[in-house]
């Protein structure tokens, strides 16, 4: 069999599930056998995962929350296909409403607007987990598999329905959404959320939002209308929280009507907190940052435009961030804005993040993509693509994989031991082979990558593999 060496393809992107990485081809193979599927399988599978949904609860979110609830079963369906079934999950929900409290102020700013209809006051929901009347004992869903195969649950009824109720957090929250700070308050030793975050578990943070993050460093962002800041509208979050290298290098240029390009968080903002604060917070929550997964179902990042728009109450048109996408909801045209700050955070977690548009009547695709990423990170030995027969002139199927044991994976001390393909008698252990297991791998061709070893590798070892699959 012609071998594709591990070293030669180590830099190739993961096939299919690793968001943000394009598929590559191996130049030596037939174009119809040109994709590479990546597998990262910890030797010791950790089935614990804590999943935090940060859901926008501002006045434009009712239809999108219902959309999330209706399609959540598709998320669970993918998790159920993980080897061993549904992982041991904690699932919690917080909202983006943390009131008028800014990160660098000792006390909340003055209340603004109509509370319960987009107004902001105090610390809002303060990152406390919300159950919204769901039949849950405690503040989050817990569903844990026991050694006898039964599951211990703290809820009654169907998991999909219970989460669906939790996801409907209402649409009256603060219109200056502080998604990132809500996430931090939820996870930063919040006594109201005791027990949710497990030290040994993977952590997944999923943002569901139709507007970008507006985490304030100072509540003066909420000051009444004035010449320096303009109208008391959430466009201030864009004007002072984002910088666009093309057409928006300063806050005054951001205020000018027109299309902007190459936009990113403004780390010198006098009003908004740095996004890097939250990147660092998440990465330090775990001894291994690879155990943190982030995802977003939000507006598209482009186009990015400042426009003039008539305020909800009427009057003279004022500057606003143009909607980047829209879809026809159950009763109204639903819209979403560019999520520049949140997308920047997601991008700091390569191979551990995914992003899809919220402007869809059916959020199934986005939820499935997130679940597939979780499945990959937890360690999925199933081959999702169609394995290519790289030598059709030889009887039987000739598969081409490069498989290694990697210790201290992702660390400066990482080391690799390339494994041979197993011979017929399995006398060359440690080795690898492809077997069929319809129970463990019900999708695609039912193929599973299996390693054979006379002894158990060290606990921090990962099986890293690249297998050639058919482009068709």
Kindly state whether residue 177 falls inside one of the protein's structural domains: yes
Q: What is d(CA 23, CA 469) in angstroms, rounded to the nearest whole number?
A: 11
The first and second tokens of residue 41, run together, are 């399988």
Which residues are CB-contacts of 355 (< 8 A; sequence separation ≥ 6)? 19, 20, 295, 296, 297, 298, 343, 346
Q: Tell me the three state secondary structure of residue 430.
A: coil
Q: Residue 197 belongs to a domain with what CATH number?
A: 3.40.50.410
- Answer whether residue 337 is part of any domain: yes
pLDDT the model gives residue 213:
98
Same domain, 421 and 358: no
Report the residue count for the chain.
472
316 and 266 both lie in a single domain: yes
State residue 472's pLDDT score: 63
Task: Mark whether 211 and 325 lie in a shared domain.
Answer: yes
Q: Are residues 457 and 330 in the same domain?
A: no
Within 383-425, strands assigned E span 401-407, 415-419
Q: Point out the domain boundary residue: 379, 413, 448.
A: 379
Q: Would you say residue 1 lies in a domain?
A: no
Q: Do 457 and 370 have their domain in common?
A: no
**Per-residue pLDDT tens digits of the chain, which is 472 residues long:** 333 333 333 333 333 333 333 333 323 334 344 588 888 888 877 889 999 999 999 999 999 999 999 999 999 988 988 877 899 999 999 999 999 999 999 999 999 999 999 999 999 999 999 999 999 999 999 999 998 889 999 999 999 999 999 999 999 999 999 999 999 999 999 999 999 999 999 999 999 999 999 999 999 999 999 999 999 999 999 999 999 999 999 999 999 999 999 999 999 999 999 999 999 999 999 988 889 999 999 999 999 999 999 987 788 999 999 999 999 988 889 999 999 999 999 999 998 999 999 999 999 999 999 998 998 888 888 888 889 888 889 888 889 999 999 988 777 888 999 999 999 999 999 999 999 988 777 767 889 999 999 998 888 889 999 999 987 6
Q: Of the candidates 331, 360, 379, which is a domain's last residue? A: 379
User: pTM for the complete prediction?
Assistant: 0.85
- If asked whether residues 356 and 422 sit together in one domain, one would say no
Total domains present in the chain: 2
Is the same domain home to 141 and 226?
Answer: yes
CB 118 within 8 A of CB 110: no
State the residue range of the domain holding 371: 48-379
Which tokens go with 415?
């080391």
Do 338 and 237 fall into the same domain?
yes
Token look-up 């919300």 returns 130
pLDDT score at 8:
34
Do residues 58 and 108 both lie within one domain? yes
Is there a single domain that holds both residue 130 and residue 266?
yes
Whether 348 is in a domain gets the answer yes
Q: Which of 331, 349, 379 is where one domain is finished?
A: 379
Determine the 3-state secondary structure of 231 from DSSP: coil
Q: Is residue 423 part of a domain?
A: yes
């Amino acid at each position: 069999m012609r071998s594709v060496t591990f070293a030669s393809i180590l830099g190739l992107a993961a096939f299919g599930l690793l968001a943000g990485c394009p598929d590559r081809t191996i130049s030596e193979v037939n174009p119809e056998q040109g994709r590479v599927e990546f597998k990262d399988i910890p030797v010791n599978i950790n089935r614990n995962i804590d999943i935090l949904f940060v859901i926008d609860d501002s006045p434009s979110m009712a239809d999108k929350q219902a959309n999330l609830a209706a399609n959540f079963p598709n998320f669970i369906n993918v998790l159920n296909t993980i080897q061993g079934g549904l992982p041991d999950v904690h699932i919690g929900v917080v909202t983006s409403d943390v009131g008028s409290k800014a990160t660098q102020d000792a006390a909340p700013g003055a209340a603004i607007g109509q509370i319960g209809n987009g107004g902001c006051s105090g610390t809002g929901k303060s990152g406390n987990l919300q159950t919204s009347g769901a039949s849950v004992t405690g503040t989050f869903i817990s569903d844990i598999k026991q050694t006898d195969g039964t599951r211990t649950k703290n809820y009654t009824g169907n998991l999909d329905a219970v989460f669906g109720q939790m996801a409907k957090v209402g649409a009256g929250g603060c219109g200056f959404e502080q998604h990132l700070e809500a996430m931090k308050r939820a996870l930063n030793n919040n006594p109201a959320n005791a027990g949710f975050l497990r030290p040994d578990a993977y952590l997944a943070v999923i943002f569901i939002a139709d507007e970008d993050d507006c985490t304030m460093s100072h509540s003066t962002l909420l000051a009444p209308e004035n010449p320096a800041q303009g109208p008391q509208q959430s466009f201030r979050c864009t004007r002072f929280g984002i910088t666009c290298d093309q057409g928006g290098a300063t806050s005054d240029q951001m205020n000018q009507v027109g299309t902007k390009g190459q936009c990113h968080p403004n780390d010198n903002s006098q009003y908004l907190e740095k996004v890097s604060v939250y990147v660092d917070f998440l990465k330090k929550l775990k001894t291994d940052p690879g155990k943190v997964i982030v995802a977003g179902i939000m507006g598209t990042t482009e186009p990015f435009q400042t426009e003039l728009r008539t305020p909800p109450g009427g009057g003279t048109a004022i500057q606003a961030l143009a909607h980047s996408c829209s879809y026809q909801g159950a009763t109204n045209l639903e819209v979403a804005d560019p999520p520049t700050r949140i997308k920047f955070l997601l991008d700091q977690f390569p191979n551990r993040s995914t992003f899809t548009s919220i402007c869809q009547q059916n959020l199934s695709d986005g939820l499935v993509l997130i679940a597939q990423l979780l499945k990959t990170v937890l360690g999925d030995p199933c081959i999702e693509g169609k394995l290519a027969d790289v030598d059709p002139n030889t009887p039987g199927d000739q598969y081409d994989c490069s498989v290694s044991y990697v210790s201290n994976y992702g660390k400066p001390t990482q080391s690799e031991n390339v494994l041979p393909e197993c011979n017929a008698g399995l006398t060359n252990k440690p080795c690898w082979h492809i077997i069929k297991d319809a129970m463990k791998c019900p999708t695609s061709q039912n193929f599973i990558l299996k390693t054979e070893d006379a002894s158990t590798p060290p606990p921090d070892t990962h099986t890293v593999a690249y297998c050639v699959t058919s482009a068709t």
